Amino acid sequence: MSQENPLSTVKRRNKLAWSKRSVITIMGIGCLSLVVCIGFAGVFLLFSGVLSGPHGNRNDYPTWSPDGAHIVFQSDRNGNNDIYMMDADGSHITQLTRDPFATLYYLRSADDREPVFSPNGSRIALTSGRNNVMMNYIDTDIYVMNIDGSNIKQLTGVGYEEGGPAWSPNGKQIAYSSKDIYTSDGSLIKNPTYDIYVINVDGSDPIQLTKDRTNDLEVSWSPDGAHIVFISDRNGPDFDIYLMDADGSNVVQLTTDSANEFGPAWSPDNRHIAFNSDHNGNVQLYIMDADGSDVVQLTSDKSNSAYPSWSPDGSRIAFESDRNSGNANIYVMNADGSNIIPLTGK
């Protein structure tokens, strides 16, 4: 038998080794390509909003910027409530907040809502549940962020449900409503109620202004800084509008009928309060003097109109209404109720 050439044996072994390395290399490239593809797909899903759940059709809670150039509002148009900003004529809508995974792991987890500009227009306060633990009880907190949505900061802590932020006219504090969710031993509180607090804009020194067994919420600070209006059901099953000094003293009831009044908003001249009422069945917009007198109805139709926000010069009021499509959209009108113009849903 002929003996195999040692050089041939080495070449054959090298060839086999090269073949194995090639297979391993090809498999590695394939796995890396798969990871890259999955990564790109994940990024696409993240920023496309596909994971946010079905797109909604609500545009709510408009508030005007101090210079009158913009309006911020909340919308579920991309799946869950986020904050948007548009020009005062309804153009150039920009999304400011985003949590695409919200409905993937819990229905209300992000729920950014109730945006309000700071008095100098540089920041926006909002309510959000973005820091809730997955599948845990939902509570909401007060946040502030830059007007482009950056540098968002949580002001209030866990274990409470907070909402309805309102800046003090000097921009140093934020008033809001809050209710305890848990007892000291960690159990859920049965039938908790809201009270009104103020907190410094850096999150320090929260102070409780009201302490009642019923609900006090939906605050609005007077432009002169002296008073706060809010709604409460302290005198019956329906909500009415109340006035108090900014330190929580001298509470006075402003509305007294058997309907629900809510959404109070001070006029820039400190003389009037716009609000909502279901006095005539559907929710409509009204205006009254700051002492509760001279109530005038501004809207009157078969739809619902709510949550007024005054333009800085007091000439117009932005609000939400389901008047045209049955879906909530943002509208603007003159302060006397005339010339109603849609800004979203056109």
CATH assignment of the domain containing 249: 2.120.10.30
For residue 43, give its domain range.
1-48
The least confident of 17-31, 94-108, 147-161, 227-241 is: 17-31
| Residue 125 phi, psi dihedral angles, 5° rounding | -95, 150
Domain boundary among the residues 9, 32, 48 is at 48
Looking at residue 153, its pLDDT comes to 95
pLDDT exceeds 60 at position 259: yes
Q: Report pLDDT for 324.
A: 85
Same domain, 136 and 62: yes
Q: What would the mean pLDDT of 28-32 be, rounded to a whole number?
A: 59
DSSP 253: E
Please tell me whether residues 38 and 61 are part of one structural domain. no
Over residues 71-89, mean pLDDT: 92
Residue-wise over 31-56: b if at least 16 C-beta within 10 A, else e? eeeeeeeeeeeeeeeeeebebbbeeb
Burial of 8: CB neighbours in 10 Å, binned 0-12, 13-18, 19+: exposed
Average pLDDT over residues 194-199: 96
- Residues 83-137 pLDDT 10s: 999 999 999 999 999 865 554 544 445 689 999 999 999 999 999 988 765 545 4
HEC string of 174-215 equals EEEEEEECECCCCCECCCCCCEEEEEECCCCCCEECCCCCCC
Residue 100 has what pLDDT?
A: 55
Based on the fold, state whether residues 254 and 314 are members of the same structural domain: yes
Over residues 221-236, the mean pLDDT reads 96
Q: What is the predicted pLDDT for the residue at 104?
A: 52
Domain boundary among 29, 48, 67: 48
Give the total number of structural domains in the chain. 2
Residue 329 in tokens? 């959209």
pLDDT of residue 308: 98
> Measured between alpha carbons, how far is 100 from 132 in angstroms, rounded to an integer?
15
Do 197 and 315 lie in a common domain? yes
Residues 30 and 61 in one domain: no
Percent of the chain clearing pLDDT 90 (strictly above): 62
Q: Are 204 and 92 contained in the same domain? A: yes
Q: Grade residue 192 by pLDDT with cuts at 50, 70 and 90.
A: confident
- Which residues are paired to 13 by β-bridges? none
29 in the same domain as 107: no
- Model pLDDT for residues 324-346, shown as the tens digit of each residue: 877 899 999 999 999 999 999 87
Looking up tokens 């003097």, which residue turns up?
289
Do 65 and 36 sit in the same domain of this protein? Answer: no
Q: CB-based contacts of 169: which residues, under 8 Å, 6+ apart? A: 119, 221, 222, 223, 224, 225
Query: 0.75 exceeded by the pTM?
Result: yes
Amino acid at the residue 18: W
Domain match, 31 and 66 both: no
Q: What is the mean pLDDT of the chain?
A: 84
Residues 72 and 16 grouped into a single domain: no
Domain check: are 246 and 273 in the same one?
yes
CB atoms within 10 A of CB 214: 15
Q: Are 112 and 6 in the same domain?
A: no
Whether pLDDT at 23 is above 80: no
